[in-house]
A and B are shown apart, each in its own frame.
Chain A
Amino acid sequence: MEKQHIDELAGIVGPENVSTDTLELEIYSRDPTIVRGMAGAVVWPRHAEEISKIMIFANKTKIPIYPRGAGSSLSGGPVPLERGIVLSLERMNRILEIDVENLQFLAEAGASIREINDELKPHKLFIPPDPASEVACTIGGCVANNAGGIHAVKYGTFRDWVLGLELVLPNGEVVSTGTKTRKSVSGYDLTGLITGSEGTLAIITKVRAKVVPIPETRMVTTAYFHTLEEAGKASFKIMIGGLNPSAMEILDKTTMYTISQYLKMKLPPAGAMLIMEFDGPRDDVDNRMEIAGKMCRHEGATEVKVSATEEESLSLWNARKTAFQSLAILGKNSILIEDITVPISKITDMLRHIHEIAEKHNTMVPTFGHVGDGNLHPHVLYDEENEEEYKKAMAATDEIFETAVKLGGTISGEHGIGVLKRKFFPLEHDTKEIAVMKRIKQLFDPNNILNPHKIFPEEVT
């Protein structure tokens, strides 16, 4: 990047908040995925006004801007595909307001979910969507990607909780959207439009979102089945039975094995397991757990365990939370994490297809996920150095996406499209729908300087 441009950026944010050193450029050019890029500069603005000036600068110079929160994206979303500017929001991390009376908070985009939850805890409140990365991920990133997590089955994704945003538009205008009220039909829902737009329409600088009281109790029931399909069917029955679990997770045989090895804990021999959480008043929770247990047995569960205490529940969640890292036991150094989501009535079909696809391509695809809302994480494993394995893994991945869409599902339930899923985008959206989306992008960002080449397949861009 030219010296005059760097000087201009330094003039906006201060020289201590801009870097062109290779170390920063390399580190800020990656997220956890395989997507590669290389930034020309990294900036750390501290106010929306600074971001506004950066956007005006970007429009003038046509240098692309890549907003970044914690860099924990699983889609390649924050990766600078061109030699542009990574705009890190990590220094805009203040929690501005905890409004206990109105059950909401206001925070700068760079505050992490954990940090906000820590502030909410003394008031016995919490943010219901809980992405697996909640310790790290930022509220801005969660809204930009409409993140979900294990509790989305009851509480939905961030879209259901965001009330309003402060945004910097690509032309530099600072705009506030939404209201403090829990409902509003006043004009177009710009908050909703920006939520899940993956940093391509505007830079989120502040988020106002609803919170709820921490439930009186949270308890866990586990059920073990012969097959993944049986477990999927039981989950479906519980969901349509109106038992309203706050989490409904499935683990396949491979993941059960890796967790038991990883944690050196014993799990009953089974082909699949369900981990269900119910929250609310204790009596009500006990009652729903009992009914869920009966439903599981009816669907062929070999064993149903009701956790006796909250501590026991917690240890089961801790086991579930190690599912991903436990896969390391399988000895593969690369992983494609998918987050396909299908209508809940198709969950057993999808589970069966994943199994068949894995067999067909002779690829390991341990699967677990949020079965209650139809969101599965098939993890396609391969060794990076082994080209044949890589090809097989890619073929299996392609087929998993195609199948999900055929079943009426989506290619991304909670991670976003970013770079990794761009090529699958037309599977789910026809040209007319994509054209509308692109016109919106054009309206917000006529010079295509904000996180370009994300979401849409390259040929459409």
Chain B
Amino acid sequence: MSFKPSLSKEMSSELSKCFRCSFCRSQCPIYQSKLNDTWNARGRMMAVQLLREGKISLDDKVLDRIYTCALCKACEEICPGLVKVSDIIKEVRCQLAEAKKGPLPDHLKMFENITTTKNVLAMKARPAELQEAIERLPQKADMILFMGCVAQYVYPKHLLTLFKLLEQSKTKFTVLRDELCCGSYLADLGLAKEAREVLAETGKMLKERGVRKIVTLCPMCYNTLRNDLPELMSTPKMEVQHSTQVLDEALKKGALTISRALPMKLVYKDPCHLGRYAEVYDAPRNILRNVKGAELIELERSREFSRCCGGTIRVPYSDLRNDLCKKFFDDAVKLRVDGVVTACPSCFHNLYSTAPYDIKGVFDIVEILGYATGIVEKIPFYEY
């Protein structure tokens, strides 16, 4: 199949900065799973260049290399040339989409889901428990808690606990009852136009409702609302925070107090979109350090070098996702930790779905804080 990406001037210059040093092999999670350089960031960059030069043609193999990049940015942390690998991959995906040569059929289903159900998971209705709690929230508030697809439809308990934590800390908030997917997945898949359309709808809602502040549970929503929305449309000034930042502040101000001990050896898994994308490394750690009895352990690969869970490529590459999670757990098991904590519903889903028996529990950080503050009696999915 003939396909020659014509990169923008900026991305061409980014691509030319890759001098094939291969440092990325030390970080790229997909390379470490496959042990084949064509799956490494270097290989992907070379593949893009080879496509441009017409030296390779677009086939399933090349498409795989383009769509298995988890956009985790781990390679960018080590890259001596500071190549914006994920931006290049995203631009190539956009061009594939424009040329109707991508994304993959499973990816297109995600877009279809959003159009029909407003969420990427094609869920028809929110779980009753969450819906009831939403009904109890005020109609209007300066602050919106943007719930995100995965938490709303798969892990509503995380949201319910976050509601309680915010209420406890006297934070006035509501949600968008007609919340729509932020479109982050679509943008990552190169469906730029579709992603913009979806995000514009959210932007319109936020504008109409005079929202001044947005808090998100999902790091992907966080980046989309914080970075992409202001680029897309002019809105009144809106502060965007991740829930860990809000909760960290609440603890510091004494608006939340720890009342219960959790004697566990915990490791914090930095979500790529909260860590490398947004450099929010300390807020979640501060929260965990506040929890009495909990011992926070750092993995050899943490913070900017944290391993990716493969959430962005789970569809359709679930085998790769499994392997990426396995590598993360191998590190954690080596340190004999009791539990893994994360601050991203997608990371939670991937880790929870693949956790080995050696790990006693996988937690979202709000659940840990909910338990430690005495707001919830037990941590969901974990019989403490």
Contact = CB atoms under 8 A, between A and B. Distances in A.
Contacts, number: 73
Contacts of A28: 37
Given A44-B35, A44-B36, A325 B78 contact: no
Interface residues of B, number: 29
A93 B35 CA distance: 10
Interface of B is mostly: helix
Contacts of A399: none
B43 interface: yes
Contacts of A442: none
A56 interface: no
Task: Choose among B25, B47, B81 the residue with the greatest number of A CB atoms under 10 Å from its CB.
Answer: B25
Contact of B21 (A44, A118, A136): A136
A185 interface: no
Given A22-B55, A23-B56, A133 B22 contact: yes
Given A22-B55, A27-B37, A112 B26 contact: yes
Contacts of A444: none
Interface string A20-49: 011110111011100000000000100000
A328 B81 contact: yes
A91 interface: yes
Interface in B1-49: 16-17, 19-26, 35-38, 42-43, 46-47
Task: Choose among A28, A71, A114, A324 the residue with the greatest number of B CB atoms under 10 Å from its CB.
Answer: A71
B36 to A, nearest CB: 7
Contacts of B16: 333
Contact of B20 (A22, A31, A93, A114): A31
A354 interface: no
A30 B47 CA distance: 12
B359 interface: no
A114 B23 CA distance: 11
A325 B26 CA distance: 18
A31 B47 CA distance: 14
B300 interface: yes
Nearest to A28: B37
B82 interface: yes
Given A23-B50, A23-B56, A136 B65 contact: no
The 8 residue pairs across chains A and B that have the minimum distance between CB atoms:
A135-B26, A325-B80, A72-B22, A32-B20, A136-B22, A136-B23, A91-B35, A27-B43
Given A23-B65, A91-B35, 12 more contacts: A23-B62, A24-B38, A26-B55, A30-B46, A32-B22, A71-B20, A71-B22, A72-B22, A88-B37, A93-B35, A118-B300, A136-B24
Interface of A: 21-24, 26-28, 30-32, 44, 70-72, 88, 90-91, 93, 112, 114, 118, 121, 133, 135-136, 322, 324-325, 328, 333, 335
30 contacts: A22-B55, A23-B38, A23-B50, A24-B36, A26-B56, A27-B38, A27-B42, A28-B37, A30-B20, A30-B46, A31-B20, A32-B19, A32-B21, A32-B22, A44-B35, A70-B22, A71-B20, A71-B22, A71-B37, A88-B37, A90-B35, A90-B36, A112-B26, A133-B23, A135-B23, A136-B26, A322-B80, A324-B80, A325-B80, A328-B17
Interface of B: 16-17, 19-26, 35-38, 42-43, 46-47, 50, 55-56, 61-62, 65, 78, 80-82, 300
